Amino acid sequence: MSNTEQPSNPEPETPNLEFEGTTPYEDYVRASVLTSLQHPLSDEPGEMVFLVTTQVMELWFTVLVHEWSTAARAVRQDDLPTAMAALRRSVPELEALNASWKPIANLTPGQFNAYRSALGEGSGFQSAMYRRLEFLLGDKNPSMIIPHRGVPAQYEELEKALYEPSLYDEVLQLLRRRGYDVPDEVLDRDLGKRYAPDERIERIWQEIYSGPQDTELVRLGEALTDVAEMVWRWRNDHLMATRRAMGSKQGTGGSAGVAWLERRAQNNVFPELWTARSHV
Ligand code: HEM
Ligand SMILES: N[C@@H](CC(=O)c1ccccc1NC=O)C(=O)O
């Protein structure tokens, strides 16, 4: 084209601007609902980012519960490609979840105190979606559904999740179907209790990891290990943000605060996938 020639279509296509009623974007995203849910409890300008970070994390918890429920169902149906795809999607999702600590990761006690008292007895302890996420990972604790008694539909859903096999339980069932000697005692235990590490399961992972590295089960073990590592990172980032913002004060949820979070950050989920490594 010479300099004097005009391009045949100098204007970019104009977007569609005319809609009857709400836009298809709004119908899909429900952005007006999402952006009408920010109601800070104080006049402190710094509270908004604390509230929205919490809401953003709730959304990521929802995505993760979706992914890991998909993975658990697929493992039960021996559909490992579907399970692996869901587990692999969940790893960058966990990274995005963890990146959302950034804006509140280094609050000073003074900054946090400016709105802390407005939070009253509110605490992440009372997050139903976080509890479902922990249950799916095998971190069961029946007491943690008590706060939700006042909302029967939510309570029933959590109670169901408490007694359902976790993602890890489904993996152990799969290992048995693949010929590994997973004890009845482990599979038939009370599913409403926290999963306790078992040496016999450790030996099974040891055997899997001692063999060829390009097998379906090593890949599954590694995907679960990636998930466990990122969950540990979330717990540690939470712990550090809390240490910085409030030291060792008691939590609004009534726990010892940092001491509680330290204990929760001590253990990894899917424990034998970690301990087996010492014996490979
Ligand atoms: C500077 C910010 C934060 C501080 C100082 C903080 C502090 C705490 C403390 C002290 C606890 C222990 C329970 C209690 O309250 O007694 C707790 C629990 C919890 N917090 Fe936070 N938190 C912060 C941000 C967040 C955010 C953004 C989320 C996202 C949803 C969150 C979710 C949770 C959850 C799920 C628990 C329960 C943990 C468990 O059961 O092990 N927290 N937090
Ligand atoms: N537990 C925190 C308060 C807090 O961080 C919080 C309060 C309401 C809703 C979510 C929160 N995040 C984590 O607990 C505290 O003890 O100050």
pLDDT of residue 92: 98
Question: What is the predicted pLDDT for the residue at 131?
Answer: 97
pLDDT per residue, tens digit, the chain (280 aa), is: 444 555 566 677 889 999 999 999 999 999 999 999 999 999 999 999 999 999 999 999 999 999 999 999 999 999 999 999 999 999 999 999 999 999 999 999 999 999 999 999 999 999 999 999 999 999 999 999 999 999 999 999 999 999 999 999 999 999 999 999 999 999 999 999 989 999 999 999 999 999 999 999 999 999 999 999 999 999 999 999 999 999 999 999 999 999 999 999 998 999 999 999 999 9
The residue to mutate among 57, 252, 264, having the most atoms of ligand 2 within 8 angstroms of its beta carbon, is 252
Angle at 61 between CA 60 and CA 67, to 5 degrees: 90
Q: Is the ipTM of this structure higher than 0.95?
A: yes
Pocket test for ligand 2, best of 50, 119, 239 (most atoms within 8 A of CB): 119
Contacts of 262 (CB under 8 A, 6+ apart): 239
Is 144 in contact with 170 (CB distance < 8 Å)? no
Could you give the CA distance from residue 154 to residue 263 in angstroms, rounded to a whole number? 27
Q: Where are the domains of the chain?
A: 41-279
116 vs 246: CA distance, rounded Å:
10
Which amino acid, residue 43? D
CA-proximal residue: ligand 2, atom 9 (nearest): 123
Q: Is 116 annotated as a binding residue?
A: yes
Flag whether 275 is marked binding: no
**What whole-number distance in Å separates Cα of residue 68 and Cα of residue 104?**
27
Using a 6 Å cutoff on CB, does residue 83 contact ligand 1? Answer: no
Indicate the residue type of 249: K
Q: Determine the distance separating the centroid of ligand 2 and the alpha carbon of 248, expressed in angstroms.
A: 14
Domain 41-279 sits in CATH 1.20.58.480:
yes
251 alpha carbon to ligand 1 midpoint, in Å?
8
The whole-number pLDDT of residue 1 equals 42
pLDDT at position 10 is: 62
For 260: left if phi > 0, alpha if psi spans -120 to 50, otherwise beta; the answer is alpha
